[in-house]
Each structure stands twice: as structure tokens, then as C-alpha cells.
A and B are shown apart, each in its own frame.
Chain A
Amino acid sequence: MEVSLAVPPDAVFIVLTVITLLAAILALQAKELIYGAIALGVSFIGIAGFFILLDAPYLAMLQIAIYVGAVVVLILFTIMLVRRDVGEEVVERGERGESAAGLWIAGLLAVAIAGVAALAGPNLASSPPPGVLSVSDLGPVLVTEYPVPLIILALLLSAALLGALMLAKVER
């Protein structure tokens, strides 16, 4: 009986997604800042796993080297310079209304992305374009062949930007 020991890629994708998302949530919710930094590193490694699934191992390695090896180090620096005793809580939980609003916005965004993807449906390009792309070809290809992923990316980026603004906002 011939058995393939290879795991189906869908299962790998689901496991990676769960790990990445859980780590990202933990990175925001951890009571101890250093656990947040570690969870952020795990989440970055999960994203590197996605790159490996997409046959881009070089990008995956650079993701680990730069994001986990440098960005997390920067965050650790910041945490270490704010010295305090182990076990003290510093992260204040947001009020109930704030987290509810956050959930609402996240849900709306998910619905918007799902809607765009569903409307685009068959137009979603799944195979890479033939031939070698030069940098100058990249722009036209992004707009003509992959408009839907581009729009979804734009939505995600604006959500991230809004979140960063909210976090950095100084209460007066």
C-alpha cells in the first residue's frame, strides 16, 4: 500500500492561518508586554509560512530575518528600556464600548472584503502571469490583472492605518 506522507496543503494553510491569527490577537491582548512581543514574533513566523506555501522561500527567510530578527528586537528594546517588575500589569483593558466598536469595525471590514471577493468571483486571478516580470511591468499588471487583491490590500492597509492612529491618539 503506497501512502503519501505529504500533508495536504489546505490543512497546512488552515493550521497556519489559525496560528497566525491567534498569535496576532494574543499580541494585542497579552497582559504582559513581553508575551505580546513573542506572540508578534510567532505571528510573523506564521506569515513566513504563508510565503513558503506560495513558493517564495527567499521572501519567507527575509520575513523571518527582518521582521522577527529586527522588528521584534526593536520592540523588545522598547519594552526593556521601560523597566518595571515582572508580574505587574501595564496594559489597561479598553472599555467595553471600545472593544465592541472594534469588533463591529472588524466585522464590517471582513464583510466588505468578502463582498468584494464574491463580486469579483471568477475574475480573481489565481495563476501567476507567464514570463518574467520586470519592475516597470509590475504596475500595469497589478492594476489590470489583479485589481481585486489590490483593492482588498487597500482596505486592509487603511484599517491598519486607522488602528495605528487610534493607538497613537493622545487623550486630551
Chain B
Amino acid sequence: MRLFRAIAAVLLAMAVMAPRSWAAGIPTADRRSGFSFMGPDTQAIQNDDTSNPGMLWVKDGEALWNARAGAAGKSCADCHQDVRAGMRGVAAHYPDFDAAEGRPVDLEQRINLCRARHQQATPFAWESRELLALTALVGAQSRGLPIAPKADGRLASFIATGRDLFMQRQGQLNLACANCHDDNWDKRLAGAPITQGHASGYPEYRLEWQTLGSLQRRLRSCIAGIRAQPYPYGAPELVALELYLMQRAAGMPVETPAVRP
């Protein structure tokens, strides 16, 4: 009996001491933005709006915001007025549920739905300068505000799908997102730090890309990196992953447009 109790005590101690179990994710107190993994020089690029290249897209976005488009001849500003007031805090709760589509849509999809429904204009292509510019403009209006996913019951099953995808091993390397970003974020992969994978600054300027890119682009290149077949742009799986990532990063400040190496 005493032996049994000792074994039980050891098992309990192991459970308590286990640094991170993949099912539990990252404790709130340990959460860190990708920003904190960067060197001071790269941080300086993001911190100064005249050196952050993402601000070029924000500036382009302002011109698009006020430009009339489509058969309706309306600009974004005609409905939403000044972007600084009308879009403050909006990006912090995307992806959000769209009742007409019956599924969650991310900010890029929302902008294109707005174009189709209200401007009667053709949607922008994924990763086009225009779509990135408008997304960056809207995203930047939430800069510094906490990521605040909506408590909407209609999202629950999609969040669960996203979480399952995050935890699911896939590809020739048989890795799940969680294997790196929950379990090994304090280590390095080759020379580069493995970050916690918090999507707090999208669309973001990656020095590797030499351009601004969406969260879907980032997810697709991660999926290619584990030698799996990336989902196409706009796929429900990618939106579900985005949705789960926002729950995971809830409360962290929005950094759009962030700069990353």
C-alpha cells in the first residue's frame, strides 16, 4: 500500500512538474508575441512607422478606402466613414461569423464580401496588393487593442475544427502545428527561434518574403514546411485554423502591420 502511494505521489509530481502538455497549450503567463523572439534591429523596424514597410500598404489602403469602386459607385468610406473611427477594434474579433454564408469569414473574405455585396465590384485576388492594403489598413486601426474573439455559439464547432487541425499530425514529416508552437517554442529550428505561433500582427511584413503577406499565406507555407499539401487560399480549413489561433492569442495586443524575419 505504501509503495502504491509512493508511485501515485511520483506520478502526481510528474504531472504537476510536466512543463507543458500539448493538450493544455501554452499557459497565459508564458504567452509571448513573435516580436519578443526577434533581434533588437528587427524590432526597431516594426517600432518606427517610417521604417516599417507595412505602413506603405496602410497608406495604399487609405487611398483605396476613399476610392469609389464597382457598379454601385460606392467607396468604403461612404458606408463606414472615417476608417480611424469606423474600423477601430474591428480586426481584433476576426474571423467572425457571417450569417449569409453560414460560416466564419476572415478579414480578407469580409472585405471581398463587402465589395461583392455593397460595391458590386469584383473581389480582389488573394495576396493582391489591394486586398493586403485594405486588410492592413483595417487591421492597423486595432493596433494595441487586445485580440477579442466574439463569444458566438455559432463559431464553436469551427473553433473545434481549427483546434483539431492544429493538433493533428500531417505531412511527410508527420508534424502538427502544436509539436512546434505549443511543445517546443523555447527551442530553435536550425538558427531560427521557434515561436509560439500567435497570429497577432497580420497581415505582416516578412523580411523573407520582401512583402506584406496574409495569415493564410503564413499557414500555407508552414503546411508546405511539414511536407503536407497546403489548403487552397480561402479554404474553410485555413479559416478554422485562423479562428482557433485567435482564441489561442486572445488578450494579446494586435500589432498589425507587424514585421517578422
User: Do A and B come from the same complex?
Assistant: no
Chain A residues near B (Cβ < 8 Å) = none
Which B residues are within 8 Å of any A CB, using their own CB? none
